[in-house]
């Protein structure tokens, strides 16, 4: 996802759009007809609004999976210190790794923070020593192994 | 989401389940009929499999929104140090705050790491000084303000 | 100075305003007439534009003094850790102290960073132990004593 | 501004000088005549004293601008760790960058602390990855993004 | 085990003692007769020497178990910061907890470092939030979760 | 010791095995006959069970020595930061050193934590500057010198 | 020793004073007569100059002892974090302890750094847990145990 | 001064030696005759004992100077991180610098801690950037500038 801030936003979400967003946040497969009925409009209008929201990049409807159920038992946030001049390349390269589900460039003590899903400790160790290690320009990493996921807005 | 590891997993995802998961990761609103056709099975079977995956907690289909498009321009990861005996209560209380989209209890330098979406710096400052400040048992916080989101698997 | 972001900005600085700003950055006492001549407009227009810029809060013309020449030989930046719920009060209270020339609330390792001008080490020590110490809600401070000021845009 | 401590200071500011300094700290464009009247001396004397104070480096009258009004929405203090033998060169090189409004060499955890004014997060990221990154001899940087400017003696 | 340094050590281990120690380090159940044969002395002498070494506190023969085989899958070293005046009481209290297999008071960044064996992440979290939390005088803890045990002289 | 998690564990310790383990934890040289008597089984069965537990890697009976009695007066835990791509090689190389009695790869602030037994400060200094220094890929080390060993489950 | 900077220093050390200082830095018991001879002045003058230097607080002639020879085998520098408002009282109280040979208030990560001479680890531990612990207002301490004294200008 | 621990110490200080040491700690130029009188022994014996204490390295009588009186106004403790394999060479090289009055190799966060006496901030900056910078093998330094010397056992 890119950090593009569009200055001109001709069509900002209105009440109907917001309702669609909220409904689909709960159930992404809710039928357009069902939403339309509650709003007392036609399903075609809902479908149209939905397509536009997707096109403009406001939302996507996707399946999100519970990592634990999918066999991922060792998850960690990793703070990364990089060599300054390679910061963005390092961010890109780490992002390509399958274990990485999330990566941000930040201000503060670390340059990059990313989240990884691994099967177990051995898998995490492999990730650190074989995959992350191959990325040029990483000075130091610090792993925060998850003990409990308390809130995750999608699941 | 709780960290419950079920020891007995009678019905683990098989190939058909996995196909459904993968397809819906791309498009959560793909019609059962469409998936069924590719797999050469009945839509009813796909519907049945889907319902079971949802019931067992393997997946959910939801709308995910681009925070920037939704007006959130100041996002941050926050590392929290708590008083030991209140660690889980603090985690629960912080989780209830609307700005918090993600919260984990971790091993390492911090006790808790959470992610917050705010509108702007003023909003983040309000969050830190008015909302987070009301949570009893927080010794110290350290904010990592996002400069760029490079990877986010849902969007 | 407050962090007020005005959404509506009817009169943004135009070329003439910018020229006045640039000129006065070099010499704040440059006569309106002199600036007017270079721009081929009337001094009265320059005076009017200047007053408007001041009124709207774009600029101020002030004397800035060289702290060393004024007898300040021990200057330091101080990082402050506060109790979360008192963060803004602490910021306000520290700001009132005469030695403090600059104070910001920040994200990161510290909650507040301020700059102080003191006469000598004894003066700084007094500031830390007598004045700063009286402010309720400061957990910890860390001083960075200046060894050399390399750039200061005003002087 | 250089850290030159003059041992011989033949003409230290007297009461009249101090009055001029204080008056101009409030309004740098106050007319010499106005100041002279309050002190019951001639404007020429005030002008003479003013010129001498400027010549000797005690003060300068300049326009100071409100960075927020000028479109700078992302400001940060940056702590820099350098390779020892290049400390002063690094300080000089960073100082040359336009975004840098302030830079000091300090004792303590960091070698250099500087302040930068950027338009937005993207601009700050560019500064860190493209401009700062080109400076040879920087081992590590840590950014403290401003959430609120509480005190700034000039504005 | 106490840190008692005996100044007078009348009977320091001689060659025969050392041989017994080395042999039993490899196999703690090696028969006295077997050791005696290699040394060309009587088994009774070996038995006598062994008893004396045990009495004087030089060695103990015990079963050491592989924690992984015993179901311990989450092991961690924990650095503890204590309130100074309770340092030794805290050390004693933490030592009493079953999960704790090792505890030392150290110089440096932490006051105490201990090692814990837990069944899984949930067990470790329980240990941190329920057991360790009950110990009065702990300011802060930092856990280092084991990813791989590379050397352990007993096993 | 390797981090091998066997998925299939046909013969998990039963009550009799556990009794043997517990008994031998107290006294590793307790006669099979003695254990057998308490359990009302034959010594041959105990011997058989014992051999199987050893074979499967559940336990070992060894002599453990009190380091202080053996002349080791300076013991320390050492946190090691490594170059990422050499993490496992560094772990292996440090493990080979005689002074090292324990070494783990961890998540968190350090990459490796190991424990060393040395005769005195001079010996520890030699270890740091001559032996550890020869290992390629160590960025930094931090030593925690033991002041008191409060718990050590073997001795 | 107090941090009193006398502004008026009527009698600054001249060449003869400096020679006396340098000579006595090497051997504090060198006879006045011997020094006088090298300078070709009277012993009485040397005696007079010496007394004045002592009176004015420029120098003292004392015996300095080698701590190791005196049985001190565990020496450490200790960084102390204090509660701000008690900083100077804490400094005074710690200074009174016999083990403390040196104490400074500093800028930076710590508030106070002091040096202690103890007999052994047990003695240091007693110092930390019994003596230092009784001083009110100490938040945290960090000990740096000496491994080797490389330079000490007096001995 | 070297860290040599002599095992055989045939002539340990007795009561008379101790009295001499204590007396000279207060006044290093106290006449042997005066000490002898208080002890009711001959001056020759005191002289003999004194010479032996000096020879064996128990004490030295030297002039110690008040650094502030000698014009040293900027003093600092400096924590140094070195490349492991050059630790002792770095210690030696830094020790040779005139500003360095004290240097120890330590366990803990830093590898070396030294104390420097400089005339002023500019002098300290020169020391850091010109002298210390020339020493090969220093990764990082952290300066703690003295604000007040509270205890110094010699002065």
Closest-CA residue in chain B for D128? Answer: B147
With beta carbons under 8 A apart, name residues in chain A contacting D134. Answer: 85
Give the per-residue pLDDT at C68.
86
Residue C122 DSSP SS3: helix
Which residue of H74, H136, H142 is the best one to mutate when testing the D interface, meaning the one whose CB has the most D CBs within 10 A?
Answer: H142
Q: Which residues contact B94 (CB under 8 A, 6 or more apart)?
A: B80, B100, B103, B112, B114, B132, B135
CB contact (8 A) between residue B122 and residue C5: yes
Residue F12 pLDDT grade (very low, low, confident, very high; cuts 50, 70, 90): confident
Beta bridge partners of D145: D76
Q: Which of F60, F143, F138 is nearest to F99 (CA)?
A: F143
Distance separating alpha carbons of residues H73 and A121, to the nearest angstrom: 55
Residue G6 pLDDT grade (very low, low, confident, very high; cuts 50, 70, 90): very low
Ramachandran region of residue B84, left (φ > 0), alpha (ψ -120 to 50) or beta? alpha
With beta carbons under 8 A apart, name residues in chain G contacting F147. Answer: 121-122, 124-125, 128
The 10 Å Cβ neighbour count of residue B5 is 12
Give the residue-averaged pLDDT of E34-48: 95
pLDDT of residue E76 exceeding 90: yes
Give the residue-averaged pLDDT of B81-98: 94
pLDDT of residue H120 exceeding 90: yes
Distance separating alpha carbons of residues G147 and D39, to the nearest angstrom: 67
Give the per-residue pLDDT at A68.
86
The 10 Å Cβ neighbour count of residue F61 is 22
Closest-CA residue in chain G for E105? Answer: G125
Q: Which residues of chain D have pLDDT under 50?
A: 1-10
In chain H, what percentage of residues exceed pLDDT 70? 92
Q: How many angstroms away from the CA of G142 is the closest CA of chain F?
A: 11
Let me know the angle formed at the C-alpha of H68 by H67 and H72, rounded to the nearest 5 degrees: 75
Evaluate the CA torsion angle E27, E29, E31, E35 in order and state its sign.
positive
Distance separating alpha carbons of residues E1 and B113, to the nearest angstrom: 38
Distance separating alpha carbons of residues A2 and D26, to the nearest angstrom: 46
CB-based contact D65:C58 (threshold 8 Å): yes
- List, in sequence order, the alpha helices (H) in F2-118: 15-26, 32-39, 43-55, 87-96
Number of H helices, E strands in chain G: 5, 5
ipTM: 0.86
Element (H, E) at C13: none
Chain centroid to CA G68: how far? 17
pLDDT of residue B6 exceeding 60: no
Give the per-residue pLDDT at B105.
97
The 10 Å Cβ neighbour count of residue C65 is 21
Model pLDDT for residues C122-141, shown as the tens digit of each residue:
999 999 999 999 999 999 99
In eight-state DSSP terms, residue B136 is T
Ramachandran region of residue A116, left (φ > 0), alpha (ψ -120 to 50) or beta? beta
Which residue of G123, G129, G138, G141 is the best one to mutate when testing the E interface, meaning the one whose CB has the most E CBs within 10 A?
Answer: G129
With beta carbons under 8 A apart, name residues in chain B contacting C1. Answer: none
Beta bridge partners of D62: C62
Residue A1 pLDDT grade (very low, low, confident, very high; cuts 50, 70, 90): very low
Greater model confidence, A25 or F12: A25
Model pLDDT for residues F14-67, shown as the tens digit of each residue:
999 999 999 999 999 999 999 999 999 999 999 999 999 999 999 999 999 988
- Residue H121 Cα distances to F37, G105, H116, H138, angstroms: 80, 17, 12, 21
Give the per-residue pLDDT at E127.
97
In chain A, what percentage of residues exceed pLDDT 90? 82
Evaluate the CA torsion angle H102, H105, H107, H112 in order and state its sign.
positive
Q: How many angstroms away from the CA of G144 is the closest CA of chain F?
A: 9
Backbone angles phi, psi at A39, to 5 degrees: -95, -5
CB contact (8 A) between residue B141 and residue C84: yes
CB-based contact C110:D144 (threshold 8 Å): yes
Give the per-residue pLDDT at E9.
46
In eight-state DSSP terms, residue H69 is T
And the tokens for A90? 């390092």
With beta carbons under 8 A apart, name residues in chain G contacting F122. Answer: 147-148
pLDDT of residue E8 exceeding 60: no
Q: What is the dihedral of CA G117, G123, G129, G135, to 10 degrees?
A: -40
Q: Are strands D74-82 and C138-152 parallel, antiparallel or unpaired?
A: unpaired
With beta carbons under 8 A apart, name residues in chain C contacting B134. Answer: 85
Q: Which residues contact C29 (CB under 8 A, 6 or more apart)?
A: C61, D28, D29, D61
Model pLDDT for residues G11-67, shown as the tens digit of each residue:
678 999 999 999 999 999 999 999 999 999 999 999 999 999 999 999 999 999 988
Give the residue-averaged pLDDT of A64-74: 90
CB-based contact H78:G108 (threshold 8 Å): no
Q: Which of C143, C150, C60 is nearest to D101 (CA)?
A: C150
Distance separating alpha carbons of residues B27 and B23, to the nearest angstrom: 6
CB contact (8 A) between residue E109 and residue H109: yes
And the tokens for E73? 């899958």
Q: Which residues contact D45 (CB under 8 A, 6 or more apart)?
A: D16, D36
Residue with tokens 């937005």, as numbered in its chain: D120
CB contact (8 A) between residue F144 and residue H107: yes
Q: Which of F62, F60, F141 is nearest to F94 (CA)?
A: F141
pLDDT of residue G124 exceeding 60: yes
Closest-CA residue in chain D for A138? Answer: D140
pLDDT of residue A8 exceeding 50: no
Which residue of E81, E107, E140 is the best one to mutate when testing the G interface, meaning the one whose CB has the most G CBs within 10 A?
Answer: E107
pLDDT of residue A3 exceeding 90: no
Which residue of H128, H136, H137 is the best one to mutate when testing the D interface, meaning the one whose CB has the most D CBs within 10 A?
Answer: H128
Give the per-residue pLDDT at G99.
96
Element (H, E) at C6: none
Distance separating alpha carbons of residues A24 and A38, to the nearest angstrom: 13
Subunits adjacent to chain C (3 or more Cβ pairs under 8 Å): A, B, D, G, H
Model pLDDT for residues H90-115, shown as the tens digit of each residue:
999 999 999 999 999 999 999 999 99
Average the pLDDT over each of B142-151, D3-12, F141-150 and give the range with the smallest value.
D3-12
Q: How many angstroms away from the CA of H81 is the closest CA of chain G?
A: 13
Give the per-residue pLDDT at F46.
96
Give the per-residue pLDDT at E88.
96
Distance separating alpha carbons of residues A111 and A89, to the nearest angstrom: 12
Closest-CA residue in chain C for A108? Answer: C108
């Amino acid at each position: 996802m890119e950090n593009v801030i569009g200055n001109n936003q001709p069509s900002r979400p209105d009440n109907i759009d917001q309702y669609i967003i909220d409904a689909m946040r709960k159930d992404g497969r809710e039928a357009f007809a069902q939403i339309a009925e509650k709003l007392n409009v036609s399903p075609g209008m809902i479908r149209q609004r939905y397509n536009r929201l997707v096109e403009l990049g406001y939302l996507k409807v996707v399946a999100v999976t519970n990592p634990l159920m999918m066999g991922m038992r060792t998850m960690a946030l990793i703070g990364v210190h990089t060599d300054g001049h390679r910061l963005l390349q390092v961010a890109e390269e780490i992002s390509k790794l399958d274990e990485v589900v999330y990566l941000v460039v930040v201000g503060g003590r670390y340059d990059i923070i990313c989240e990884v899903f691994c099967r177990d400790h051995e898998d995490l160790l492999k990730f650190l020593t074989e995959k992350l290690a191959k990325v040029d320009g990483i000075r130091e990493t610090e792993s925060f192994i998850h003990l409990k996921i308390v809130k995750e807005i999608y699941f």
